[in-house]
Structure 1
Amino acid sequence: MKVQVCIVGGGPSGLLLSQLLHLRGIDTIVLEKYSREHVLSRIRAGVLEHGFARLMREAQCGERMDREGEIHNGFHIAHDGVLDHVDLHKYSGGNSVIVYGQTELTRDLYEARDRLGGKVVHNAEDVTLHEVKSDAPFVTYRSGGERVRVLCDFVVGADGFHGVSRQSIPKDVLREYEKIYPFGWLGVLSRTRPVSPELIYVKHERGFALCSMRSQVLSRYYIQVPLTDKPKDWADDAFWAELRRRLPQEVAAKLITGPSIEKSIAPLRSFVAEPMQYGRLFLAGDAAHIVPPTGARGLNSAASDIYYLYHALIAHYQKGDDSGLEGYSKKALARIWKAQRFSWWMTMLLHRFPDRLPYDDELQQTEMNYLFSSETALRLLAENYVGLPF
């Protein structure tokens, strides 16, 4: 089999790139380790930057997002018993974000690939990358007991943190940066009306909390827990009781509870791999970088990678211009590190660290007080939250 671009990973990053390139006449194949049903069963955050939303529309996948997504012009931060508002629209120059579940976004991308007859292979086992430093890379995989060879011009690794793509870069070439946070987020999805029309981030002496949503009838709530906790340790009633303790009284009084549809604990990690290019292999999304969910930069950071790769590949095939491909890693990483900084800042601002010193508590409190006393600080928060320019 011969294609121009072989994409490893059938999550939103790989599917979006495949769709965008297909619309510009570039032949791709997507190799996904798991079944479509498994991919669509994964529950992920869904706060989309305005730039990501534009990219979905350009990919002809934004109709349902625009119809069903919730446009948010701001969010709240609860601290010290008060509920302060961050006006994104005011402080970012008129921009906003869209709350639209990643599962639904991925479903839209799958349906778009189906409409165009895109090549997406599920249950692709033992995916292996070959000769990526040469002018003729290829990828092999097993399907139904048969070994398949895919010849291509370029390989894009969008196969997540544990995928084979980053592991295909020699250890003496790759440099990895990592920070592990000493807590996780216990998340509960419930078929209940959200407690607030906008997200509420909570800084509390008992730990962080977040009131989020998937729709007007589907809510997602989180509380900070020790890494030693397991989802089975938390009965639904215990979760709701702890969430109420951390919310301002007027918010807790409006909270509607119900049985959990899904319950999981996500550890918090910051991770960056450099470079994001090795020969004709290009990394994108979680294969190259991970951020804590604080600030909702994960999926959006992957979208910026796809934007740069998409335009670089278009320039290569349509103009013979390789400057975008040659500069991809440097350009992508410049934006990624800014997303890392913002996620780290939000995490440090809002969480209760178990090894904190009194000095740390005072500094955290000062940072919060300064944020809501300075329009400049609010502008910095807003412009990062809605998304820096690609």
Structure 2
Amino acid sequence: MLNLVVVFLFFFGIRSYYGQLSIEKAPLNQILIQCEDSYSSGSPLDVQVRLYNNSDKRREVTITDFSFQILNSQNEQIYSFRQSQPVRGVLDPFVSRLLFDLKREKEITNLPSGEYLIRVELAVDGKKVSAEKKFLSVERYELIVENLKDFYFVGERARLKVNLLNQTSRTQDLRIDAFSASLKQDGRLVWQSAVQVKPLWQNVRVGELVELADVEVPFDREGVYSIQFDCVVNGSMNSLVLPVACVSSSERNLRKVKIYTDAPKLASLKSSLEFSVYLLNDTKDNVYLEVEEIAVSLLPSSLDVRKGPTRMWLTPYSKYEIFKFYPYSAAAITQPGTYKLLVKVATKNDRLDFETTMQIGE
């Protein structure tokens, strides 16, 4: 009897407790604001607004009174877009649809440092929906290195071009007080050089590159290294550290890697299609490849990309992106149907081929 009483009290106590909790359903319509949390001033601000259908049913909707705003920390309006004209469309179950792409409407590149707020409001079938998202704008000077390979052979020298990018919100003079390059292995300095550069660059525009110097870095023994560049610009230190390896030989075949893609099997002409093609290293070893050619085509479209030769360093159990299909490449897909993705990776001694299909609907 005592046991029965305990079970009775426990069961009804639990029911009473959970009965007091409110169960909130997900909203039928949900706004998704896609934007990086940290934005570098000087580059185009990338913001997309999507409407997500939380229903398990296909719905025809009417969207009205669309409003998009960017506000600074003083609640001052930086940019505004409004459209009151109704837009009708179809939302598939649990799928989002692109409503607004900032890059298509306005190129914003010169936001001063600080916190900003994106506010979106609209009505779906007469019901108001809203969302907000904050992001941070950062002004800086960015070092950019060209011609760096993933790995070098013993006795080889890396011949690099180092540039400086004005990632601030305004045109300004750049005073270079010092510039140096160094090579480290396991935190130990093995080579260093102070490089002579032009001390003053005048009227450098937002997003403009200036060529600082050509640098040669020697590699005398095998190992994993980091190349570091330090540059004092207008009194502030700017550093860039990049990994690089030195080897005595590279792989002669492709048996340790395979090709993989995250391309969808089914997609719509109306969707924002984006996917990548990777080379996968399924082993516990570092793989160093000298690739002669990478070829990617999408039939029957006109997309045909070829590049190489290049060097690839694949760390253990890693993937290496060899191709990217961006939403703005969608002009290659103009009709519904079956598309065949063909990929070829070739070295001097070996070759990998990959094939898959995508069904594109209206």
TM-score, normalization by structure 1: 0.24
Determine which structure has the larger strand proportion and give its number.
2
Decide which structure has the larger Cα Rg and report it.
Answer: 2
Determine which structure has the larger helix proportion and give its number.
1
Larger RCO (CA under 8 A, 6+ residues apart): 1
